[in-house]
Amino acid sequence: MAMEYYSGISDAMRITFVQVMILATIAIVIFLYGMYINLKKWGLGAEGYGQKPSKGSIFTFPKTLAYQLSEDGHGHKQNIIVTLVLDILLQRRIMRRSPLRWFMHITIFVGWMTLFLLSLLMFLVELLHMAHLGIGPEPAVFREFLGPINDLFSYILLTGIIIAIARRLFIPRMREATIAYDSILLGGLTLITVTGFIADGIRNGTFWGFGIEYPYAPPAALFHVIISLLFCIAYIPYSKYIHMIATPLTILANKGGE
């Protein structure tokens, strides 16, 4: 069932799992190109105080970051494990400023990243199955196993999104500071999450399917997959969501602390 489920919108307009893999590859290439642009931009500064600005090589930023992480680099001198766990994973800085904002961030972060990793794991299982290597579980069985876990973290992500929407609707300061760019990002994340629920609901006949018949499950899943690839991978380096990468790197460079 793994291949047929993503087999297309109609007989005249079919898309195979291999074609979805190609779309994923294109999204990754777009992402990598965007990161290349960002690395060049981040490398435009000087490598040290009083030095001339660099020419923006993609190697300048990694070299500077490596120096900052060394004992000679400036910063708070906090242990890197403490920085990774408390400042990046648990986001304690946000917690100290606003528990509600922290809860919103942590639910979106945990939900998004876990669903991404589960999707990657499912993708690898499909690849092993296609390669006929005789290793790994059957895709259909493994998908059913991941179902409850996907549901749990999808609801965690949805909780964070609802809080983010409520903050921008009902907190005057947030509402006044919201620009169209913020609305597009939040709207895109909402669309991806809701379409994921709907596609799975149609396939399994649950509440989220809204009574839509099963033949519509493949196109619903296809729509969800395509916008997820475009928005959650390809678009990240070109959007405000680049802070998911830039902020942890900045905290690491400063060696944590406040």
Task: For residue 123, give the CATH number of its domain.
Answer: 1.20.950.20
- Is residue 49 in a domain? no
The amino acid occupying position 49 is Y
Phi-psi category of 132—alpha, beta or left, where left has phi over 0 and alpha has psi -120 to 50?
left
Tokens of 186: 């939040």
- Is residue 69 in a domain? no
Query: Is 13 strand, coil or helix?
Result: strand
Distances (CA, A) of 73 to 49, 67, 68: 12, 6, 4
Distance in angstroms (rounded) separating the CA atoms of residues 51 and 67: 15
Ranges of residues in the chain with a pLDDT under 70 are 1-17, 45-57, 71-76, 256-258
pLDDT in tens, 27-78: 889 999 999 888 888 877 655 545 555 565 677 777 777 777 776 666 667 7
Q: Quick check: 195 and 145 in contact, CB under 8 A?
A: no
Distance in angstroms (rounded) separating the CA atoms of residues 226 and 209: 19
Number of domains into which the chain is organized: 1
Domain that holds residue 101: 2-42+75-253
Q: Any idea which residue has 């087999």 for tokens?
A: 7
The phi, psi pair for 138, rounded to 5°, reads -70, 135
- Is residue 191 in a domain? yes
- Is residue 167 in a domain? yes
pLDDT at 198: 92
- Is residue 118 in a domain? yes
Based on C-alpha coordinates, what's the Rg of the chain?
21
